[in-house]
Each structure stands twice: as structure tokens, then as C-alpha cells.
């Protein structure tokens, strides 16, 4: 199983959950929302085989934490993964679009200057602007658009930039989410949960729930669950080799 976007540090007992994922052999990309959260979040994956940690600055926090970008740049050499980063154009965060864009552009520029990274990117209500930045910094081929919710034309533009996509159980519950996932290139799709923010009823999703997304994708692709799982694992291997030195 692969959970390519999970906030491990925000669960009630992150140490136990990390240990459970490691024991079960679930590949987890543990994302951070601010650079200051990096030390504790990174510690969850230290010494493990399956847990990797991404350095992030979430767009919903960019207007409050923009002064942490310099810390982000100091920490960047500690990881080959960057996220959660991006832009959020929903009504509550649209007033902060300018500072979000400054933060996003500086992060991409810094990462690309150091040989590139694998990115997990938030693009809610701002897909066009996100894609413009990825094109500007020439990093679409290692950018994973997490829980993509843009239009069909924006999806086509993302595909043209060679972007990747991570989809989870909640996204795949909706007709729109299924329609978008069905149009994504199968060889550029990964699974995620976005736990603990994404939920099943009152229960936060955990990395083991990424298998639900595998089942949904198998149905969309008209293949078996095993075939879908193998393809997603192969996709991850293909993505990792795009940034030299990425474990």
C-alpha cells in the first residue's frame, strides 16, 4: 500500500501509527504544514524503511508563516520531498493569494536550484495558477497534485506538463472525483488518504485506508485489485527515479 499524502504528525498517537505503518510495510509520505514542525515530524520516519517525510509550508498558513521560508530553505537539504505546498483559492484564503504565490514561487525556485525535489501540491481553487508556477520553474514532471479538484481543461493542462496525481478514498466518493481520476494517465497515479483531515464518518482515515482508493481505481480501470496495486507501486518507482538520490 502507498499513502503519498498523510499528516502523520497530526494524529492522536503519531508514534504508534508510524510504527504500525512500518510493521505493515505501508509506504507513507508524511507531509508537514510548517517548517517549524519539521524536526518532530521527520523523527517519525527516522530509521524506518517505509516512511518518508516532506518539508512543507501549507498555503492556508502562508500568510501567517511566510517568515518561515528562510527556515524552509535551511532545512531543504535534509529531504528529497517537499510538501504540503501550493496555492488555495477558496473564499477564506483568496484574500491571501499574493503572499501564497510569493511563498510558493520562492519554495519552487529554491528546490529547483538544489537539483529538484518530489513535490506534493495543494491546488484547491487555484489549479491554473499552480500550473503556471510549475511551468515557470520546470518542475511539473516531479509534481504530484494531491486531491486534484480542478476542471477538465485544467486536468488536461496538468497532464501536458507531465504532472502526477494522488487520489484518495474521499475524492473517489464523488462523481466529479471519479470522473477526474478516470481521465488521469494510469501511469501517473498514486494513492493517498490525507488523514487525519479526510474521514470515514467520524473516523480519520489512516494510511491503511489507501487500499480503499486502490479498489476504487481498479473499478475505474476495469482491472483487478492486484493489478491496480502493482501499477501504483510501479508508478512510485518511476517517480522516485526522476530525482537523483531519492530513496
For 209-226, the pLDDT digits (tens) are 999 999 999 999 999 999
* Domain of residue 145, CATH code: 3.20.20.140
pLDDT at residue 18, as a whole number = 97
- How many domains is the chain built from? 1
Residue 26 lies in a domain: no
| Domain-located, residue 1 | no
Backbone angles phi, psi at 82, to 5 degrees: -130, 125
Q: Dump pLDDT digits (tens) for 4-54.
A: 999 999 999 999 999 999 999 999 999 999 999 999 999 999 999 999 999
Q: How far is CA 14 from CA 17, 60, 64, 148, 203, in A?
A: 5, 22, 25, 26, 15
Task: Enter the pTM of the model.
Answer: 0.97
Residues 110 and 215: their CA atoms lie apart, in Å, by 38
Q: Is residue 76 part of a domain?
A: yes
The residues, ordered by sequence, that sit 6+ positions from 114 with a Cβ below 8 Å of its Cβ are 76, 77
The C-alpha cell of 175 is what? 462523481
Q: What pLDDT does residue 238 have?
A: 97
Distance CA 1, CA 3 (A): 7
In a domain, 65, yes or no: yes
180 lies in some domain = yes
In a domain, 167, yes or no: yes
* pLDDT, position 182: 97
What are 158-193's pLDDT values in tens digits?
999 999 999 999 999 999 999 999 999 999 999 999
Tens of pLDDT along 90-132?
999 999 999 999 999 999 999 999 999 999 999 999 999 999 9
**In DSSP terms, which residues pair with 165 in a beta bridge?**
145, 189
Do 186 and 220 contact (CB within 8 A), yes or no? no
How far is CA 171 from each of CA 123, 134, 155, rounded to the nearest angstrom? 14, 23, 15
List the domain range (segments joined by +) for residue 218. 54-240
Nearest partner of 210 among 184, 187, 228, 186, judged by Cα: 228
Query: Model confidence at 245, in pLDDT bands (50, 70, 90)?
Result: confident
Q: Is residue 74 part of a domain?
A: yes
Is residue 119 within 8 A of residue 145, CB to CB? The reply is: no
> What's the angle, vertex CA 217, arms to CA 214 and CA 223, rounded to 5?
100
Cβ–Cβ under 8 Å, residues 147 and 210 = no
pLDDT at 244: 86
The per-residue DSSP string of 94-128 comes to GGGHHHHHHHHHHHHHHHHHTT--EEEEE-TT-HH
pLDDT in tens, 69-84: 999 999 999 999 999 9
Query: 84 lies in a domain?
Result: yes
CA 192, CA 170: separation in Å to the nearest integer? 10
Q: What is the mean pLDDT of residues 205-212?
A: 98
Packed helices 127-136 and 97-113: angle between N→C axes, nearest 10 degrees? 30
Report whether pLDDT(208) > 90.
yes
Q: Is the pLDDT of residue 246 over 90?
A: no
Amino acid at each position: 500500500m502507498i499513502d503519498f499524502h498523510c499528516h502523520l504528525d497530526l494524529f492522536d498517537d503519531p508514534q504508534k501509527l508510524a510504527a504500525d505503518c512500518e510493521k505493515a510495510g505501508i509506504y507513507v509520505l508524511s507531509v508537514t504544514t510548517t517548517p517549524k514542525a519539521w524536526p518532530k515530524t521527520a523523527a517519525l520516519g527516522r530509521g524506518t524503511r517505509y516512511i518518508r517525510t516532506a518539508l512543507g509550508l501549507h498555503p492556508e498558513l502562508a500568510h501567517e508563516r511566510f517568515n518561515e521560508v528562510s527556515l524552509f530553505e535551511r532545512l531543504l537539504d535534509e529531504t528529497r520531498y517537499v510538501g504540503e505546498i501550493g496555492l488555495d483559492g477558496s473564499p477564506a484564503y483568496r484574500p491571501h493569494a499574493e503572499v501564497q504565490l510569493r511563498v510558493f514561487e520562492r519554495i519552487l525556485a529554491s528546490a529547483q536550484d538544489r537539483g529538484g525535489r518530489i513535490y506534493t501540491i495543494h491546488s484547491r481553487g487555484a489549479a491554473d495558477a499552480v500550473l503556471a508556477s510549475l511551468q515557470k520553474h520546470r518542475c511539473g514532471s516531479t509534481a504530484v497534485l494531491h486531491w486534484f479538484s480542478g476542471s477538465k481543461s485544467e486536468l488536461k493542462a496538468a497532464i501536458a506538463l507531465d504532472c502526477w496525481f494522488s487520489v484518495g478514498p474521499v475524492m473517489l466518493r464523488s462523481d466529479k472525483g471519479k470522473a477526474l481520476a478516470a481521465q488521469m494517465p494510469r501511469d501517473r497515479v498514486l494513492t493517498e488518504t490525507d488523514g487525519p483531515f479526510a474521514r470515514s464518518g467520524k473516523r480519520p482515515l489512516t494510511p491503511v485506508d489507501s487500499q480503499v482508493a486502490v479498489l476504487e481505481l481498479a473499478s475505474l480501470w476495469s482491472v483487478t485489485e492486484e493489478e491496480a496495486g502493482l501499477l501504483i507501486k510501479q508508478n512510485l518507482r518511476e517517480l522516485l527515479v526522476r530525482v537523483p538520490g531519492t530513496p
